Amino acid sequence: MVRILGLGDNTVDTYVDAGLQYPGGNAVNVAVMTKRLGAATAYLGCFGSDEGGALLHHALDAEGVDISRIRVRAGPNARAYIGHVNGDRQFISSSPGVRAEYSWDEEDFAYIASFDHVHTSIYSELGEALPRVAHHAASLSFDGSNRWTRDLLVEVLPHVRFAFLSGAEMHEAEALDVAQKCLALGPEAVVVTRGSEGSLAVNSHGAIHQAPKQTAVVDTLGAGDGFISGFLTTALAGASLETSMAQAAAFAALVCSWPGGFGHAAPWAGDAVVRRANSAR
C-alpha cells in the first residue's frame, strides 16, 4: 500500500449563499481522496484555533487520514468565500489565516522521509523550505494551480517528480508548449488540465491527450484535486502515463458527483460583510 503525505495548504470552502462550509484545500483534498482510492495517507499542516480548524480536524479524522503531526495555531483557519451567480460558482475572496505558520523541526523532515510520496501546492507557501522538503521526500508532486509563473516553475520544478498546472485559458498548442518546457526542467511527467477541454500530459515518451469523462455534476469544487489523486495513485503503482491520465479523468468525474471537495458539510453562521457583498453581486 503506497503511503502519501499531503503537505501544506488547507482551507474551509465557504458557500456564503447556502450558509455551508466544507473542509478543503489542495493538500488536504489529495490526502483524503488518495485515501479513498486505497492509499495510506497523512496530512501535515497548520489548522486555526477556530471553528474552521475544528471542521478540518474532525473531517480528516473521520476519513482515517493521519493528522498526528498537524499544528493548531492561535488564530483563524484559512478560508475561501464562494458565491454563485446564475448557478455558476464565483470566488469572492479568501484569507490565508495561519496555514503557513509551520516552524519546521527535524522530526517533521524525518516524518516526510517516511512516505513513498509527498504532494504539495503553490498555496502551501513552503518558500525556502521546499528544497529541504524535496531532499527528504522520496517522491514529490506540486500543483501550480492557475497561479503559476514561469519564474516559479524554473525555481520549483527541478525538485519535482510530477507537476500539475491549470491551463483552462490556453489553446491546446500553448498548453503543450508549456508542458514540454516544464518537462525540460526536470519532472518525470507534467500535466496541464484545461477544464471542459480535457487535459494533456507529457513525459520522455511523448504526449497524451485526455478527454473529460461524462458525469452528473453536483459540484465541481475539488475536481482538479480529484484528477491529481487519480493520477498519483495510478502512476505510483507503476502504470503508464496513458492509464494514469484515464484514471485521473475518471476519478475527477466521480468527485463532481458529491458536494464540496469531499463532503462533510457544516452550517456556517456567516460573516455579515461577506454575505452583503455576495448579495450585491
Which pLDDT does position 271 carry in this prediction?
63
The span from the CA of 29 to the CA of 15, in Å, is: 17
Cell numbers 498537524 correspond to 70
Q: What are phi and psi of 134, to 5 degrees?
A: -65, -35
Low-confidence ranges of the chain (pLDDT < 50): 272-273, 277-281
pLDDT of residue 269: 86
Q: Dump the DSSP string for 205-222.
A: TEEEEEPPPP---S--TT
**DSSP structure class, residue 66:** B
CA distance 127 to 27: 16
Per-residue confidence (pLDDT) for residue 281, from 0 to 100: 46
Torsion of the alpha carbons at 146, 263, 86 and 270, rounded to the nearest 10: -100
Q: Domains of the chain: which residue ranges?
A: 3-275
166 Cβ partners below 8 Å, 6+ apart? 144, 145, 146, 148, 192, 193, 224
Per-residue confidence (pLDDT) for residue 273, from 0 to 100: 47
What is the pLDDT, as a whole number, of residue 86? 67
Q: pLDDT value at position 274?
A: 52
CATH topology assigned to domain 3-275: UDP-N-acetylmuramoyl-L-alanine:D-glutamate ligase (3.40.1190)
Helix (H) or strand (E) holding 159: none
Give the span between the Cα atoms of 146 and 148, in whole angstroms: 6
Angstrom distances, CA of residue 183 to CA of 132, 211, 234, 265: 21, 21, 20, 38
CB 39 within 8 A of CB 115: no
C-alpha cell at 246: 484515464
